[in-house]
A and B are shown apart, each in its own frame.
Chain A
């Protein structure tokens, strides 16, 4: 069965510190991989996605993620966190194909940034 695990429900970091959010997935084959961010009461904004090619993916707002096939992981990183990064982060996977089908989401990681 397909599933996404985000083992950290809540992470607190100081502004300027580095950040890594973990994501592990279970899927029949290498899926498409996504990271989304959600501010309170808002929809989801795409940070970055991995479809193929270079396993280190650059996204918006200075985020990057690395796909590691051997570990079934797609961890999100940022070298220096800003207070505006405080939000909820979701990892998601979807089946490969010519059209994008359903996504399976993790339960999210809430990020708090201390000034």
Chain B
């Protein structure tokens, strides 16, 4: 099946620093990638949707200048948390979807645990 990787799996950083998370589709071309945030024992909250080669579409309430998303190729999207603060600590999960067709399945990465001290 389709495989999506995320790197790093866990990161600890100091308040005020920036953190970059990579999301890669390993065996398919992802025309669309999604970034989610998940709080403990809660569902996934969609942060933004990115299409390869175009600007990301952010959900209401998500600061685009704080959460920078780049989808430079069909296999890579990055999320950069700029000037991270403790309240940004969370579990960040990306997902990827292939080209259009009958399959609308999103395939998820293993997630990145971010802890901001």
On whether the two chains bind one another, the answer is no
User: A residues bordering B, Cβ < 8 Å?
Assistant: none
User: B residues bordering A, Cβ < 8 Å?
Assistant: none
